[in-house]
Amino acid sequence: MSYPDVVIIGGGVVGCACAYYLTQAGVRVHLVEKGALGSGASRAGMSHIVTWEEPEIHLHLAKESRNLYQELSQVLPMDIQYRQTGSIAIVEQPEGMASFGETVRRLQDWRVKCQLLSPAELNAIEPSIAPDVGGGAYFEEDAQVNPLYATQAMACAAKEGGAVIETFNEVVGIECTPDHTRVTAVQTVRGRIPCEKIVIAAGAWSGQIAQMVNLEVPISPRKGTLVVTAPVPEDLFHCKILLAAGYMDSVREGASSGVAVAANLQQVKNGNLLLGSSRQFVGFDASVDPAVVSAMMKRNLRFFPGLAKVTAIRTWAGFRPYTPDLLPIISAVDSIQGLYIAAGHEGIGITEAPITGKLISQIVTGRAPDLPLGVLSLSRFNKTS
Ligand SMILES: Cc1cc2nc3c(=O)[nH]c(=O)nc-3n(C[C@H](O)[C@H](O)[C@H](O)COP(=O)(O)OP(=O)(O)OC[C@H]3O[C@@H](n4cnc5c(N)ncnc54)[C@H](O)[C@@H]3O)c2cc1C
């Protein structure tokens, strides 16, 4: 029997990107997913490929990833509904424009293509926005993808390249050498898979998986709730991604602050609107709280009054993989040879999945990574890793 070189734990958008790029690099991959592909955050997420989230490392990851999505949309065996839509961030109060203007100028210095908009300019581009807002900005390079299709398409391409993609099988243990310095196998409910290398790409569950080898990986679930509407005409919202500029503040709010809510509207290719967003720390409780839905809808109606005539058809919740510094972990584990982490992307994992997969394929195969990875290392949290 032949064994894989690498076992990937988790079949979300990040794990499937790792499977795709490792397979492209000639590595024999076996991906193990406890449910269906994308059944974690990747199925629950929206569609925004956001190219302007700070700090600077996010800007690099997002830009590279957006370019990779462009390529992937041409070569993957399924349509991933990628399209360059641009996005508009809206500032609610006129007094908020000074500090948002500084953000936009800083982003322009980093070569993000964006443009500050007065209320009149905003209204000319997007008449659906409430007229009494302070202004906003247009980000022309932002794009959209269907995260579930991207997950499935990358897995499908990896499979065509020889990878084993195994769903509905749960990893229950990781085996190491007796001195605990090197991985040797993954234990699953269906049996043992010997291997030399393991990539933990289990999103919000990655901390639990790391515990199997007594490793501290500070990733916790940050719940997000979403409302989906019936399809609406394409001309109701000209720009397909509209969000409150305060959304970025809701991302940065800490663990103790209850529910953070911000308006975020995205129209997907088949016409439905996705309405977010919320952030809260409630463990793995996936129930949808009507009070959170109501708070989200209030914020969306504040910016997009035309929504009052639109019918909501579905709600759900998913778990963003949160790290305390809001940066992903794309890293080898120094203390255990053959163990790697690709997780912790919080609300930007759909955006950053392709570059994460590519970087993991580079470090697993001993090639120089396209981006410096020190700031994304696990050792930034854990001196003993
Ligand atoms: C409401 C919401 C909106 C979002 N919108 C956006 C957006 O517009 N743009 C953006 O870039 N990001 C967005 N995100 C964030 C994005 O969805 C996540 O960052 C991303 O999906 C994380 O992908 P992942 O593969 O790391 O994790 P997941 O998709 O959670 O995948 C991890 C997988 O590991 C599996 N797993 C866990 N334990 C085991 C085990 N023991 N054995 C085997 N498998 C296991 C799980 O079943 C799961 O499928 C949003 C998230 C939410 C919740």
pLDDT in tens, 127-145: 999 999 999 999 999 999 9
Q: Which atom of ligand 1 is nearest to the CA of 169?
A: 43
* Angle at which helices 56-75 and 349-364 cross, to 10°: 90
| pLDDT at residue 93 tops 50 | yes
pLDDT band, residue 256 (cuts 50/70/90):
low
Taking residues 262-275, what's their average pLDDT?
A: 97
Distance 376 CA to ligand 1 centre (A): 18
Place of tokens 């305390």: 324
| pLDDT at residue 385 tops 70 | no
Taking residues 268-276, what's their average pLDDT?
A: 96
Taking residues 25-32, what's their average pLDDT?
A: 98
Cα(293)–Cα(367) distance, integer angstroms:
46
- For domain 221-322, the CATH class is alpha beta
Please give the share of the chain, as a percent, with pLDDT higher than 70: 98
Least confident stretch, 27-41, 85-99, 239-253, 319-333: 239-253
Cα(212)–Cα(222) distance, integer angstroms:
22
Residue 4 near residue 18 (C-beta atoms within 8 A): no
Least confident stretch, 64-78, 84-98, 245-259, 286-300: 245-259
What's the pLDDT at 254?
64
Cα(35)–Cα(186) distance, integer angstroms:
17
Model confidence, pTM: 0.97
| pLDDT at residue 2 tops 90 | no
pLDDT, tens digit (0-9, with 9 covering 90-100), for 34-57: 999 999 999 999 999 999 999 999
| pLDDT at residue 334 tops 80 | yes
Distance 218 CA to ligand 1 centre (A): 16
Among 76, 47, 67, CA closest to 145: 47
Torsion of CA 359, 363, 366, 368, to 10 degrees: 50
Q: What is the DSSP letter of 289?
A: P
Q: Where are the beta strands (DSSP E) in 43-113?
A: 48-49, 87-91
Q: Which of 8, 14, 282 to mutate to test the pocket of ligand 1 (most atoms within 8 A of CB)?
A: 14
CATH number belonging to the domain at 6-76+147-219+326-380, selected among 3.40.605.10, 3.50.50.60, 3.30.70.20, 3.20.20.70: 3.50.50.60
Q: Are strands 197-200 and 6-9 parallel, antiparallel or unpaired?
A: parallel
What's the pLDDT at 253?
77
What's the pLDDT at 384?
45
Q: Which of 85, 142, 274, 320 to mutate to test the pocket of ligand 1 (most atoms within 8 A of CB)?
A: 320
CA-only gyration radius of the chain, Å: 21
pLDDT band, residue 265 (cuts 50/70/90):
very high
Residues with CB under 6 A from ligand 1: 9-15, 32-35, 39-42, 44-48, 170-171, 201-205, 209, 224, 226, 276, 318, 320-321, 343, 345, 347-351
Tokens of 165: 């993609």
Taking residues 85-102, what's their average pLDDT?
A: 97
| pLDDT at residue 192 tops 80 | yes
Among 317, 347, 330, 343, CA closest to 252: 347
Average pLDDT, the chain: 96
Taking residues 138-163, what's their average pLDDT?
A: 98
Cα(125)–Cα(115) distance, integer angstroms:
12
Q: Are strands 29-32 and 6-9 parallel, antiparallel or unpaired?
A: parallel
Cα(351)–Cα(45) distance, integer angstroms:
11
What's the pLDDT at 169?
98
Q: Are strands 135-139 and 87-91 parallel, antiparallel or unpaired?
A: antiparallel
Distance 109 CA to ligand 1 centre (A): 32
pLDDT band, residue 250 (cuts 50/70/90):
confident
* Residue 287 falls in which region: left (phi positive, over 0), alpha (psi -120 to 50) or beta: beta
Task: Report the amino acid identity of residue 139.
Answer: F
Residue 33 near residue 163 (C-beta atoms within 8 A): no
Residue 18 near residue 201 (C-beta atoms within 8 A): yes
Q: C-alpha angle 90/94/98, rounded to 5°?
A: 85
| pLDDT at residue 383 tops 60 | no
Taking residues 146-172, what's their average pLDDT?
A: 98
Using DSSP, state whether 8 is helix, strand or coil: strand
Taking residues 176-193, what's their average pLDDT?
A: 98
| pLDDT at residue 59 tops 60 | yes
Tokens of 264: 């975020």
Q: Where in the chain is the domain with CATH 3.30.9.10?
A: 221-322
Q: Which atom of ligand 1 is nearest to the CA of 222?
A: 53
Q: Where are the beta strands (DSSP E) in 18-151?
A: 29-32, 48-49, 87-91, 114-117, 135-139, 143-144
What's the pLDDT at 249?
81
